[in-house]
């Protein structure tokens, strides 16, 4: 029973991607289990099958734990994990620091990484990535509505889809965004107690704004929306049933031919 439990304890069935290292955790688990096995061997007085099983398990684990290459890799991974843990802590900003505070921490971290990259080339890609996306790293700390990570963005889109379905009965929010995004963005900049358009010096008086746009311009925009919708209808039809769409095109092609014969 004890041997069975020890074998079960050796297994790690979950990990927290991407910031916890599965094989490092497994190695540490081996070390802890071997410590317990050796304690059991030293305290068990009999020479029998149970003691023999413990000794065999100790030999197997020692073969992994004592391997110099494995020990070196684990040491390197743990050191790199601490670096990424520090980066994660800065960007997660659990103490709710301002953008200036987060940016200051990142500058110190970047300087630290650049010193590491001077002696080890493996840190150079991380330095390059941080510098490449530096301008876009900190907007979220000024505006809580901006998702910080890919997971946050997917969660935001999912919540938007749920609200859209409750309002319209369908989930095709992508089509609405494709056709009405300019209007939506314009309205977002217009409404509120302190709309962005007003801060930029534009008028936010609705009557004045409507009168500044001609009806011809409005009709032109609406016709463009309709063309986009028709193109999307054709594309989706082709995705569903390309043969049916081809037949529809052939039928459309016959109509002018018939008219010309008459």
- On the question of pLDDT at 48 being above 50, the answer is yes
Question: Which tokens go with 199?
Answer: 């801060």
pLDDT of residue 144: 73
pLDDT of residue 257: 47
The mean pLDDT of 249-258, rounded to a whole number, is 61
**Average pLDDT of the chain?**
77
- On the question of pLDDT at 3 being above 60, the answer is yes
- On the question of pLDDT at 106 being above 90, the answer is yes
- CA gap 4, 10 in Å, rounded: 10
Q: Are the C-beta atoms of 204 and 197 separated by less than 8 Å?
A: yes
pLDDT of residue 15: 45
pLDDT of residue 17: 45
Band (162; pLDDT cuts 50, 70, 90): confident
The mean pLDDT of 62-87, rounded to a whole number, is 90
- On the question of pLDDT at 153 being above 50, the answer is yes
- On the question of pLDDT at 204 being above 60, the answer is yes
| pLDDT tens by residue, 172-194 | 666 666 666 666 556 656 555 66
Q: Which of 16-25, 125-134, 143-152 has the highest mean pLDDT?
A: 125-134
| pLDDT tens by residue, 213-247 | 787 887 887 788 777 777 777 767 766 777 777 77
- On the question of pLDDT at 81 being above 80, the answer is yes
Whether the upstream peptide bond of residue 18 has omega within 30° of 0, thus cis, is yes
Nearest-5° Cα angle at 258, 256 to 262 = 115
Q: Are the C-beta atoms of 109 and 86 separated by less than 8 Å?
A: yes
- On the question of pLDDT at 111 being above 90, the answer is yes
Which residue in this structure is represented by tokens 């301008």? 135
């Amino acid at each position: 029973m004890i041997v069975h439990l020890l074998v079960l304890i050796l297994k790690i069935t979950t990990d927290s991607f991407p910031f916890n290292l599965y094989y490092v955790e497994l190695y540490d688990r081996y070390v802890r289990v071997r410590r317990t096995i050796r304690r059991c061997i030293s305290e068990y007085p009999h020479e029998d099958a149970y003691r023999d099983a413990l000794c065999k398990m100790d030999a197997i684990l020692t073969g992994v734990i004592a391997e110099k290459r494995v020990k070196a890799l684990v040491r390197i991974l743990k050191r790199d994990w601490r670096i990424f843990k520090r980066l994660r802590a800065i960007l997660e900003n659990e103490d709710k620091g301002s953008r200036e505070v987060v940016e200051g921490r990142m500058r110190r971290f970047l300087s630290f990484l650049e010193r590491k990259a001077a002696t080890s080339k493996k840190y150079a890609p991380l330095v390059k990535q941080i510098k490449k996306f530096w301008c876009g790293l900190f907007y979220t700390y000024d505006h809580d509505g901006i998702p910080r990570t890919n997971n946050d963005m997917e969660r935001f889109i999912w919540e938007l889809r749920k609200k859209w379905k409750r309002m319209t009965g369908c989930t095709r929010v992508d089509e609405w965004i494709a056709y009405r995004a300019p209007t939506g963005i314009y309205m977002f900049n217009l409404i509120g107690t302190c709309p962005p358009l007003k801060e930029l010096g534009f008028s936010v008086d609705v009557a004045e704004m409507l009168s500044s746009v001609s009806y011809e311009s409005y009709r032109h925009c609406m016709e463009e929306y309709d063309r986009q919708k028709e193109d999307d209808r054709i594309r989706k039809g082709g995705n569903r049933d390309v043969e049916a769409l081809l037949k529809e095109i052939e039928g459309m092609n016959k109509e002018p031919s018939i008219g010309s014969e008459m």
